[in-house]
Amino acid sequence: MVLHRITFIAALLVTCNLVNAKELAETPSYNARVLASDLDQPWSVAELPNGDLLLTERGGQLWRVDNAGNKIKIGGVPAVYHKSQGGLFDALPDINFAETGALYIAYAGGGADANRTTVVKANLNDNTLTQITTLLAVNPDKDTAVHYGGKLAWLADGTLLVSVGDGFEYREHGQDLDSEMGKLLRINSDGTIPADNPFVATAPRVFSYGHRNPQGLVVDAATGSIFMTEHGPKGGDELNIIAPGKNYGWPAITYGIDYSGAVISPFTESPGMEQPITYWDPSIATSGLAIYHGNEFTDWEGDLLIGALKDRKLYRLEMEGGTVLSQSEPFPEVQGRVRDVRVFSDGVIYALTDEGQLYRISRN
């Protein structure tokens, strides 16, 4: 066991660019149970104020799930473009959902020749979406069914962050402020543009740029820090702390290479471009991202939980002052392509896998 742990940490330092690794603490006693196992391409899970879960399936289904795993289908979901990586993505309750009943939903809109990441606002009434209003349709359209982003997160000021991928074949758009692909966007809750966005005169909705395919997004309620993960190509998955107006480099700098083996860029850094706080080479295929605050696993306060599609695991990143100290696999029972992970207000952890399982993880 000791030899295995030493070998693991040594490999971790080489492949993940982690610094100051400490001895990994044992996971406290816990209960990881499968709450539902019949899901079809689940993509995201969110918390409703009454304790129910809001769950999306990429094919276009939206479900309300109770703590016994019972599902109620929600009607009125907009038609999605479901092909390859396209479909229904995030569903995020309004900050004041108990009063407004409003949801914000990200999905792939359009069709094969012209599609885009789209965000709508809707009211949830008697398990049906009503008063659907389009808040954002990424410009320009693309004709690829990949790299949408589609993650949503609230900032403390009530503005909404929306991650957008580069469309794969349009990777140069990541550096082009005339395009909203390869960006993190920021809008008001009614779809209007915040007056303090960093490029409000020229690229009104752009908050940060130089991103490839952001698959994890979380705002730390304690500090206001914005953490985002994105897929690299072959190698070079990144974890970044996002600041307004900053350029995160793709594809001008990268720690990965093309899937063909060709060099995308000879550079891993450049003046005026931000470095990730850590990266993975080889790729783990980063997905959902959550920050731990709660009373279930108190020793993990401020640490990150991250899903890995390729590694088929749920990882914990031990954090200190914006630095990753170590990486561990606290819940080996969670197996499969971990698509999403969330920490609810009671400190309970929920994780989704592409294989259709929803896990609930608590201390009891």
What would the pLDDT profile of 311-349 be if each residue is shown by its tens digit? 999 999 999 999 999 999 999 999 999 999 999 999 999
Q: Is the pTM of this model over 0.85?
A: yes
3-class SS of residue 33: strand
Half-sphere exposure of 330 (CA within 13 A, CB side): 28
pLDDT (0 to 100) of residue 5: 35
pLDDT (0 to 100) of residue 26: 62
pLDDT (0 to 100) of residue 20: 35
147 is catalytic: yes
Distance between CA 250 and CA 271 in Å, rounded? 13
DSSP for 198-246, please give it.
TTTTTSTTEEEE--S-EEEEEE-TTT--EEEEE--SBS-EEEEEE-TT-
With a CB cutoff of 8 Å and minimum separation 6, the contacts of 336 are 312, 353, 354, 355, 357
pLDDT (0 to 100) of residue 7: 32
pLDDT (0 to 100) of residue 281: 97
Distance between CA 146 and CA 40 in Å, rounded? 19
What would the pLDDT profile of 40-80 be if each residue is shown by its tens digit? 999 999 999 999 999 999 999 999 999 899 999 999 999 99
What is the rounded radius of gyration, in angstroms, for the C-alpha atoms of the chain?
19
pLDDT (0 to 100) of residue 53: 97
Along the chain (364 residues), what's the average pLDDT of each consecutive run of 10 residues? Answer: 34 42 61 95 97 97 95 98 98 96 98 98 97 98 98 98 98 98 98 98 98 97 97 97 98 97 98 98 97 96 98 98 96 96 97 98 91
pLDDT (0 to 100) of residue 1: 35
pLDDT (0 to 100) of residue 202: 98
Catalytic position from the list 147, 173, 211, 231: 147
